[in-house]
């Protein structure tokens, strides 16, 4: 029997009828194409979500860095403007300043600063506001009697121009807006503060509004405002509600010499 006949004869070389020779790789496990596609899809979605979160964190970090830089630059620019105005004077109107921070090493960051002149209302506006507040309770303005507070408020009209001018020259509201870009997005950050010049307030005592002990016309503790003196005392003098002194032993003289 030749070699080819022996291979075709199932009984040759110990082979039994009804059996076949094992194939190469038989019995080794693996993944189907469908399983591989599902795994790739799940991995793609996970990586996409992770990449989006990472990009958002990077943008937030860049924005926080930009805000920190803008805050420091705005505060520094406000200090420079304050020193400049202390030398040149504040003036009596608003002042604006614009530019960039090239000298500080940030040429791509711009600023817009404003020094706002605070205008104090005139006394007429205060009087109208007070009259409106007095009538909020439903009472007519003519039915109210002017008390000590109303008289003091009316007396303030004489010195209010001095007070108004001193306050307007002593206070300024300043703000600085810093603008920068992050890619295609524009961001801005604003710093606001108030400046005061206490030297301008030194003229207020010259307005005649200072108070000393001689201006206190209130009666002493335990004294009778009607002029009877302290409880348990006899004779002597008493104080009138207006701060004057009158004798207590006889009738009070009226204008014109009448008794």
Instruction: Tell me the pLDDT tens digit for each residue of 120-137.
Output: 888 888 888 877 776 655
Q: Which residues contact 225 (CB under 8 A, 6 or more apart)?
A: 219, 239, 240, 241
| SS3 state of residue 90 | coil
| SS3 state of residue 255 | coil
Instruction: Tell me the pLDDT tens digit for each residue of 177-223.
Output: 999 998 888 999 999 999 988 887 776 665 544 555 654 555 565 54
| SS3 state of residue 147 | coil
In the chain, the number of structural domains is 1
232 domain residue, yes or no? no
| CA-CA-CA-CA torsion sign (219, 221, 226, 228) | negative
231 domain residue, yes or no? no
Query: The pTM is what?
Result: 0.54
74 domain residue, yes or no? yes
236 domain residue, yes or no? no
| SS3 state of residue 115 | strand
Q: Is 80 exceeded by the pLDDT of residue 24?
A: no
Task: Estimate the share of the chain in helix, then strand, then coil, as percent rounded to the nearest 5.
Answer: 45, 20, 35
81 domain residue, yes or no? yes
Q: How many residues does the chain have?
A: 259
Mean predicted confidence (pLDDT) in 238-243: 41
256 domain residue, yes or no? no
Q: Show the domain range for 59.
A: 33-133+146-210
Tokens at residue 113, please?
């600063």
243 domain residue, yes or no? no
Closest of 134, 143, 199 to residue 169, by C-alpha: 199
14 domain residue, yes or no? no
């Amino acid at each position: 029997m030749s070699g080819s006949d022996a291979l075709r004869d199932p009984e040759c070389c110990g082979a039994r009828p009804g059996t076949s020779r094992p194939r190469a790789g038989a019995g080794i496990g693996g993944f189907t194409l469908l399983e591989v596609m599902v795994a790739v899809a799940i991995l793609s979605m996970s990586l996409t979500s992770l990449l989006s979160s990472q990009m958002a964190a990077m943008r937030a970090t860049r924005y926080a860095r930009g805000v920190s830089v803008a805050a420091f630059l705005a505060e520094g620019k406000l200090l420079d403007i304050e020193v400049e105005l202390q030398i040149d004077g504040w003036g009596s109107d608003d002042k604006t300043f614009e530019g960039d921070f090239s000298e500080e090493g940030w040429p791509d960051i711009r600023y817009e600063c404003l020094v706002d002149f605070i205008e104090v209302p005139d006394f007429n506006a205060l009087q109208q506001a007070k009259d409106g507040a007095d009538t909020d309770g439903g009472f007519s303005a003519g039915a109210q009697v002017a008390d000590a507070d109303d008289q003091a408020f009316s007396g303030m009209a004489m010195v209010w121009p001095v007070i108004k001018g001193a306050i307007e020259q002593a206070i300024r509201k300043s703000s600085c807006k810093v603008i920068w870009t992050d890619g295609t997005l524009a961001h801005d950050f604003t710093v606001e503060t108030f400046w005061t010049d206490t030297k301008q307030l030194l003229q207020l005592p010259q307005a005649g509004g200072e108070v000393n002990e001689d201006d206190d016309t209130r009666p002493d503790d335990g004294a009778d405002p009607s002029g009877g003196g302290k409880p348990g005392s006899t004779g002597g003098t008493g104080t009138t509600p207006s701060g004057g002194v009158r004798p207590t032993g006889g009738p009070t003289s009226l204008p014109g010499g009448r008794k």
